[in-house]
Structure 1
Amino acid sequence: MLLKDYRNIFTQELASLYDEYETESFFYIILEDFHHMKRVDLALNPTFELSSELLQQWENVVAQLKEHRPIQYILGETEFHGLPFYVNENTLIPRPETEELVDWIIKESKVESRKSKVKILDIGTGTGCIAISIAKNLPEAEVFAMDVSESALAVAKKNAARNNVEVTFLHQSVLETEDLHQTFDIIVSNPPYVRNLEKKEIRKNVLDFEPHLALFVEDNDALVFYRKITELATQNLSENGQLYFEINQYLGKEMIELLEKNGFKNVELRKDVYGNDRMILGVFSCSF
């Protein structure tokens, strides 16, 4: 079967579950993964034919998409900040909003004049996307990454090797950590922040497949990770060290209050590309 003809079948099979844009996006993601072809390559090769084996591979993906399994888990990888990352059900799929947070950190770090090598800690690293992207773009930085999940750390270590960066990985529960035992210039975290009451807003492909350990917090204690990490930051950040968070869009005001009452100055709340309060920065002052 010609691939251009199969495209129509692919679209029809998924039309009742996904909108046209999503279906088209899936098609071209698979096209590049399976055949190393982009949209223009297909246009230039209208007689490209699928063997029965390749057709079966496509149909296997379609069957999983019908079950709402994320395309990133089906293919076992995704792209973040221009870099390739392995993913599986032990890790959250990196989001575009998190890329914005990484951009912010990199830009701020490049304009800061520091006398020595900057030390950065990523708490709750998952795939390692934040730590690895920072290490790739700030080669002078000494980067550490912590996670409670050994399975997630195994993926993160593979991603560090894949992207040829050095990151020191720590298997540790932040909620059970009393002291980090070293000083950092930057601490960043994208911890669990979705309240159970917000589950109704979560799409089925996320709710059914992505790890709840990395997603959800109790409704009555939504800032549990933020409080703990902020407490550790007051003990383990250097003077004028920076604390960055990705946050729940509904809790921006509460996050500003949390940082300010713990001695952070120049607190800045930023919106993501979708217009939601999504990331925050505080600068630590030891003189508080």
Structure 2
Amino acid sequence: MKIKDLREDFISSLSELYEVEEVHSFFYMLLDSYLGMRRVDIALALDNVVDEKTMSCFAIAKKRLQNQDPIQYILGDTEFYGLVFRVNKNVLIPRPETEELVDWIVKEQNNINGTRKLKILDIGTGSGCIAISLAKNIPNSDVYAIDVSEEALEIAKSNAVDNNVKVNFINADVLQLDGLGNNFDVIVSNPPYVRELEKKEIQPNVLENEPHLALFVSDQNPLIFYKKIAELAKNSLISGGLLYFEINQYLGTETQVMLKKEGYEFVDLRKDLYGNERMIQAGLIRKNKNDL
């Protein structure tokens, strides 16, 4: 079968489930993964014959896409903040808004601290995308990462090796901790924050495949992780240290109020590129008003 015929079959088989442009994107991503062909190369190679192994790989991928499996799980990796991360059903697929959170931390901490060594903690690390990206982009940082899932930590450890950074991984349930065991310059978390009532807004490929442990909280106590982490951070942040969260876009005000009740002197709520309130920073004591 020629590439042009393979593409036609692939698109026609999935066009009822996905937008046409999305199906095209899937096809090019798979062709790149299986044959190392970039999209710009394909126009000159449409008459090339695809071997049996590649056809078999496409058949499996097509079936998985028909079952609403995320393309990142099919490929086995995804890009985040310029790095490549392995992903599977045990970890959430890194999102663009999380990249914005990482970018905020990287730029701010490098600006404030220069080359001073920082101790950083990522709570609920999953694939390790936050911890590893910070370790890669903040010089001299000493990075720690906690997750309750041993399976997630195995993925995170392999991602740290692949990206040539050192991260201290810890298997723990943050809700059961009495302390964090160290003092940190930065504590960051993207904890579970999707309420059960919001499940109807979640795409089927996410709802049916990504780990619910890392996604959902009860409607009655949606800030359970934020409150616990804020409590722990009060005793572990150094003077001038900062706490960063990715948050539920519908609970920005509630999260601000909670942090102020917990004694945080200032709270900075930011919107993502789509105008949603998705990131928050909190500190107990300012080092200098011009620093932040």
- The corresponding residue for 1:237 is 237
SS at match of 2:235: helix
Runs (5+) with no aligned partner, structure 2: 288-292
- The corresponding residue for 1:70 is 70
Partner Cα separation in structure 2 for residue 20 and residue 104 of structure 1:
34
**Which moves more between the two structures, 101-110 or 43-52?**
43-52
**Which moves more between the two structures, 26-35 or 229-238?**
26-35
Partner Cα separation in structure 2 for residue 44 and residue 135 of structure 1:
41
Q: What is the CA distance between 1:46 and its match in structure 2? A: 2.9
What is the correspondence of 1:75-154 to structure 2 with a 5 Å cutoff? 75-113=75-113, 116-154=116-154
Q: What is the CA distance between 1:211 and its match in structure 2? A: 0.4
Q: Could you tell me whether the CA contact under 8 Å between 2:115 and 2:140 is conserved in 1?
A: no
- The corresponding residue for 1:283 is 283
Partner Cα separation in structure 2 for residue 29 and residue 274 of structure 1:
25
User: Cα deviation per residue 1:109-158 (whole Å; 9 max; x = unaligned)?
Assistant: 11103684110000000000000011111131110000000000000000
User: Cα deviation per residue 1:15-52 (whole Å; 9 max; x = unaligned)?
Assistant: 00000121111111111111111111112323322012
Q: TM-score, normalised by structure 2?
A: 0.95
Partner Cα separation in structure 1 for residue 101 and residue 206 of structure 2:
21
- The corresponding residue for 1:174 is 174
Q: Could you tell me whether the CA contact under 8 Å between 2:119 and 2:141 is conserved in 1?
A: yes
User: Does 2:252 match 1:252?
Assistant: yes
Partner Cα separation in structure 2 for residue 246 and residue 190 of structure 1:
5
Q: What is the CA distance between 1:83 and its match in structure 2? A: 0.7
**Which moves more between the two structures, 119-128 or 1-10?**
1-10
- The corresponding residue for 1:20 is 20
Q: What is the CA distance between 1:286 and its match in structure 2? A: 9.0
Q: Could you tell me whether the CA contact under 8 Å between 1:243 and 1:284 is conserved in 2?
A: no
Q: Could you tell me whether the CA contact under 8 Å between 1:230 and 1:262 is conserved in 2?
A: yes
Q: Could you tell me whether the CA contact under 8 Å between 2:80 and 2:99 is conserved in 1?
A: yes
Q: Could you tell me whether the CA contact under 8 Å between 1:120 and 1:187 is conserved in 2?
A: yes
SS at match of 1:186: strand
Report how many aligned residue pairs link the two structures.
Answer: 287
Partner Cα separation in structure 1 for residue 217 and residue 279 of structure 2:
18
Partner Cα separation in structure 2 for residue 15 and residue 270 of structure 1:
37
- The corresponding residue for 1:165 is 165
Partner Cα separation in structure 2 for residue 284 and residue 142 of structure 1:
22
**Which moves more between the two structures, 165-174 or 46-55?**
46-55
Q: What is the CA distance between 1:74 and its match in structure 2? A: 1.2
**Which moves more between the two structures, 15-24 or 217-226?**
15-24
Letter in 2 for 1:101: L
Partner Cα separation in structure 1 for residue 242 and residue 87 of structure 2:
29
SS at match of 1:267: strand
Q: TM-score, normalised by structure 1?
A: 0.97
- The corresponding residue for 1:55 is 55
SS at match of 1:88: coil
- The corresponding residue for 2:290 is none
Q: Could you tell me whether the CA contact under 8 Å between 2:115 and 2:139 is conserved in 1?
A: no
Q: Could you tell me whether the CA contact under 8 Å between 1:263 and 1:285 is conserved in 2?
A: no
Partner Cα separation in structure 2 for residue 193 and residue 245 of structure 1:
11
Runs (5+) with no aligned partner, structure 1: none
